[in-house]
Amino acid sequence: MIPRRYLKVTMSALIIVSGCYVAYTWGANDVANSVGVMVGANILTPNMSIFLGGLAIVIGIATWGYKVMETIGSEITQLLPIMAFSAQLASAINVHVYTLFGIPVSTSHSIVGAIFGVGLVRGIKVVNIRIMKEIIVCWLATPFITGIITFTILKIIMIFVKIA
- Asked if residue 75 and residue 28 are part of one domain, the reply reads yes
- Asked if residue 117 and residue 132 are part of one domain, the reply reads no
- Average pLDDT value for residue range 73-79: 95
Domain total in the chain = 2
d(CA 28, CA 10) in angstroms, rounded, equals 27
Question: pLDDT: is 16 or 6 the higher one?
Answer: 16
- Asked if residue 132 and residue 61 are part of one domain, the reply reads no
- Asked if residue 89 and residue 8 are part of one domain, the reply reads yes
Domain span at residue 8 reads: 4-127
pLDDT higher than 80, residue 12: yes
What integer best gives the mean pLDDT of the chain? 93
Range with the poorest average pLDDT among 1-10, 78-87, 114-123? 1-10
Range with the poorest average pLDDT among 3-7, 37-41, 45-49, 90-94? 3-7
- Asked if residue 136 and residue 74 are part of one domain, the reply reads no
Which H or E element spans position 149?
A: helix 129-160
- Asked if residue 105 and residue 77 are part of one domain, the reply reads yes
- Asked if residue 33 and residue 20 are part of one domain, the reply reads yes
d(CA 151, CA 160) in angstroms, rounded, equals 15
- pLDDT single digits (tens) 113-164: 999 999 999 999 999 999 999 999 999 999 999 999 999 999 999 999 988 6
d(CA 150, CA 84) in angstroms, rounded, equals 36
Query: What local confidence, expressed as pLDDT, does residue 158 receive?
Result: 94
Query: What local confidence, expressed as pLDDT, does residue 164 receive?
Result: 67
- Asked if residue 73 and residue 38 are part of one domain, the reply reads yes
d(CA 22, CA 124) in angstroms, rounded, equals 25
- Asked if residue 113 and residue 55 are part of one domain, the reply reads yes
d(CA 31, CA 49) in angstroms, rounded, equals 9
pLDDT higher than 90, residue 3: no
- Average pLDDT value for residue range 26-39: 88
- Asked if residue 108 and residue 89 are part of one domain, the reply reads yes
- Average pLDDT value for residue range 53-76: 92
- Average pLDDT value for residue range 52-57: 91
- Asked if residue 95 and residue 14 are part of one domain, the reply reads yes
pLDDT higher than 80, residue 78: yes
pLDDT higher than 90, residue 30: no
- Asked if residue 16 and residue 80 are part of one domain, the reply reads yes
